[in-house]
Amino acid sequence: MDDPSRRGLPELGWEMVSVKVACLMMQKNEGRMLDSWIRYHADLFGIENLYVFDNGSTDEETLGIVARAGEAGAQVILDCKTHMHFEKKGEVFKSKVRQLEKSDPDYTYFIFLDCDEFIVAVNDKNAVDLSDGAVLGVLEALPRTGSAKYVRGTYNNHPTEIDKFYFKNERKSFFERETLKSLDTGFHHGQAVNGTSETVRSIALLHFHNRPYASLLRSARQKLAGRVKSFSREDLTDLIARKGRGRHLVPYFLMSEADYIAGFKTPNARTIPFKARLARVAAEYPFQRDLDEMQPGAAPSTVLGLDYPLD
């Protein structure tokens, strides 16, 4: 029987590929991003090994995608709908890992992602490897040390240029079975039972953190909805003053679209052909709708600039 989680590994041989990965992710109202995330990671790990926690989605598109994913075999968890579940995401995932360790002794690794993160392999020439089986091949070859594993970093997308990415030295943890001690909300500071950690240079994330401006503001409002009283300038700047969670999102409301795009003028961009890789699994490139709707040469929006009220 064809095992989707083990496709594309002829050089290793099926009988030698024993790694099995549980991939956990929580999302809310991510729409087509969710569909692309599921299609891509199902191709890597097998759809039955995807654990999709829905954090109370309300839009019909997302709800439809969640339902279809469940029908196709993904493990959909619908009882984590509150904002508190999101704030305690690390604890929620740790609890699920404990459950899976007992119910499925074949799981080798537990990987934690956000919906805008796509895991990739990096070869010894420092190039992202999007070939079939590359990620599983790397995981299979890793020595089992019991340490907390950290990806080498993230390749963050350019908000308006397809397949352009910038490297960021960002920590994200994943774990071998029976080694997870603690996991924070963003997976940046996960700790292993034995207290050791290591950076896996051959694993990275493509992080679609940089949304087109209109999409960015929609997402930021959703994430801050439970953290600020309102979207007035006073309440947003108060979040920064008291160092509240999500304060990194506030500046987006206090700048123009032109200011936002200008921040990505850097010579360090590299081209990673991810759109073509997604097309192979019939998945849409993230934010494609927003990118299609952009009008070249149009005057940038400044409605949410410093001179305008936010509510």
Q: Give the pLDDT confidence score for residue 226 in this predicted structure.
A: 82
Domain containing 120 equals 7-207
Predicted local distance difference test score (pLDDT) of residue 146: 96
- What pLDDT is recorded for position 310? 34
pLDDT at 293: 75
Element (H or E) spanning 221, and its range?
helix 213-224
pLDDT given for residue 295 in this prediction: 55
What number of other Cβ atoms are within 10 A of residue 59's Cβ?
12
pLDDT at residue 225, as a whole number: 84
169 occurs within a structural domain: yes
**Residue 231, in any domain of the structure:** no
Beta strands in the chain (DSSP E): 21-27, 50-54, 75-77, 109-114, 117-122, 128-129, 148-151, 154-157, 164-168, 173-176, 180-182, 191-192, 197-200, 203-207, 270-271
In a domain, 78, yes or no: yes
With respect to residue 302, please indicate whether it lies within any of the assigned structural domains: no
Q: What is the pTM of this model?
A: 0.82
Structure tokens at 302: 């400044």
Residue 161 lies in a domain: yes
Q: What is the mean pLDDT of each run of 10 residues along the chain (311 residues)?
A: 38 55 96 96 98 96 97 97 92 98 97 98 95 96 96 94 94 97 96 97 96 82 85 88 89 82 79 98 93 60 36 32
- Residue 98 resides in a domain: yes
**At 50, which CATH number?**
3.90.550
The total domain count for the chain is: 1
Per-residue confidence (pLDDT) for residue 264, from 0 to 100: 81
| Residue 118 lies inside a defined structural domain of this protein | yes
Residue that the structure tokens 């994430």 belong to: 223
- What pLDDT does 211 receive? 85
- Those residues whose C-beta lies under 8 Å from the C-beta of residue 22, and which sit 6 or more positions away, are 45, 49, 51, 97, 100, 104, 107, 109, 110, 111
Residue 262 lies in a domain: no
Q: Would you state the pLDDT for residue 300?
A: 44
